[in-house]
Amino acid sequence: MTKVITYGTFDLFHEGHYKLLERAKALGDYLIVGVTTEHFDEMRGKFNVIDPIMKRIENVKNTGLADMIIVEDHEGQKIEDIQKYGVDIFTLGSDWVGTFDYLKTFCKVVYLERTPNISSTLLRGSSFKVTKVGLVGTGRIAERFLAEARYASGLVVISAYNPDERSVELFRKDCAEYEITIEKENYEAFLHGVDAVYIASTHETHYDYAKAALNAGKHVLCEKPLAFTRKESEELYKLAASKNAVLMEAIKAAYCPGFQQLLNVVQSGKIGEIKDVEACFSRIARVHSRERTDARYGGAFLEYGGNALMPIIKILGKDYISVSFDSIDNELGTDDYTKIQIRYKDAMATAKVGMAIKSEGQLVVAGTKGYVIAQSPWWLTQKFDVRYEDEKLIEHYEPKFIGDGLRYEINEFLSKIRGVGEQSYKLTAGESIAITGIVEEFVKKRGII
């Protein structure tokens, strides 16, 4: 008996898939089909898969061509499967020519001609209209957004808004390769041309820009801090719900698969009850940067606070009892370095942020049975350990992380706009509001507002 194996996502099952399976089956007597999990697809940079795995498996099953269906969930699995099932022929479409030649050590490798003019990507494109995004603010982060947005299929950045002439000129120069219209005066007119905005302007403008965009029915992805007071933040989420618009706070680590895995491990009971979370985020900002020169809204806390507070709120929850701050200030009176102590009923946490002082950017979650440590930079979660009293006992995790992390956030935003996929559990409105609550305590204590 000749055994054949093939793999795929088989999203929005189409004729190209059917024809591939038909020819794969004809290569032998027994066909095994591997269907990828969402997690595996995300890890290999394939975002926006629409059909859940059970539906994709069902569709393959309904062809009647597969003798066995398996799930593909990790790199290197193909070699295992070929040996485990005694496979004679590995086959895939011609878009993969050469990629799997290394499997020739284990079995015959055959690339079958792809059916022209059809793919899941094309179907996804025609099932949803392209989301036109406008950038509010034209600083460094807006430039990074542009580069990473290329990895979201069905989203295109078409315009930018910034009344600041100097910033616009720099942006024009650095982003000449992109076709983007720039609006310097009329925010309403800018909003009119887009479906969604990414707000990456100065902190104090976030709330007003977000409110106006939501009022115009536009989806909003807003850099942190979303607002300066809990009330404002609550109001924005309510407004978004009433307008049927998506509102997401751009704390990118929250949307990364590696960080999700860390949360799962922390919450699995492995390390017992969680008693302490320590998160540090520091980055030495350029001397002339806005965060180091703005005497009112500059400083480490407003710049980076959201990053370090996010894991604390995710792990210990929204209901903290008290918060206190301690800072080292610079000559402008803004903070170069801030420690935030948060007390919960049965646990505590510390967040540390620095923009002119550098520290170890790690995340440590302490429990009654052990602890989780994510090495620096934990926010680009690429490795973490679970450690115990017995120091020889270490479980090491190395989740995959692609790009600079923004693409995960952008794809999450796009999925929410399309209304596909799961609920917004990665950073809920309640969690984002709780983070704003801590921002409020800080800005009030320091007389910023």
Nearer to ligand CTP, 55 or 192 (CB): 55
Strands 370-374 vs 322-329: parallel, antiparallel or unpaired = unpaired
Looking at the Cβ atoms of 117 and 268, the one nearer to ligand CTP is 117
Nearest distance from C-beta of residue 117 to ligand CTP, angstroms: 7
Least spacing, CB of residue 94 vs ligand CTP, in Å: 7
CA–CA separation, 287 and 281 (whole Å): 18
Contact 355, 292 (CB under 8 A): yes
**What is the nearest approach in angstroms of ligand CTP to the Cβ of residue 147?**
22
- The least CB distance from residue 150 to ligand CTP, in Å, is 16
Nearest approach in angstroms of CB 18 to ligand CTP is 9
Decide whether 6 or 159 has the Cβ nearer to ligand CTP. Answer: 6
Residue whose pair of structure tokens reads 């792809």 in the numeric block: 114
d(CA 3, CA 105): 16
116-125 burial, b if ≥16 CB within 10 A, otherwise e? eeebbeebbe
Q: Tell me whether residue 16 or residue 405 sits nearer to ligand CTP (CB atom).
A: 16
Is the Cβ–Cβ distance between 405 and 379 less than 8 Å? yes
Least distance from ligand CTP to the Cβ atom of residue 45, Å: 11
Q: How far apart are CA 172 and CA 203, in angstroms?
A: 22
Nearer to ligand CTP, 95 or 391 (CB): 95
Neighbours of 51 (CB within 10 A): 18
Which one, 92 or 433, has the nearer CB to ligand CTP?
Answer: 92
Where b means 16+ CB within 10 Å and e means fewer, 180-191 reads bebbeeebeebb
Helices 429-445 and 230-242: angle between axes, nearest 10 degrees: 150
Residue nearest to ligand CTP (CB): 93
Q: What are the φ/ψ torsions at residue 95 (nearest 5 degrees)?
A: -65, -10
Torsion angle of C-alpha atoms 425, 427, 429, 433, degrees rounded to 10: 150
- For residue 414 the two structure tokens come to 């796009």
Q: Which residues bind ligand CTP (CB under 6 A)?
A: 8-11, 16-17, 20, 92-93, 95, 114-115, 118-121
What's the min distance (Å) between Cβ of 21 and ligand CTP?
8
Indicate the residue among 51 and 431 with the shorter CB distance to ligand CTP: 51
- Closest distance between ligand CTP and the C-beta of residue 33, in Å? 9
**Alpha carbon 294 to chain centroid, angstroms:** 29
Report the distance separating Cα 409 and Cα 253, nearest Å. 8
Least distance from C-beta 440 to ligand CTP, angstroms? 43
Nearer to ligand CTP, 16 or 134 (CB): 16
Q: Judged by CB, which is closer to ligand CTP: 87, or 175? A: 87
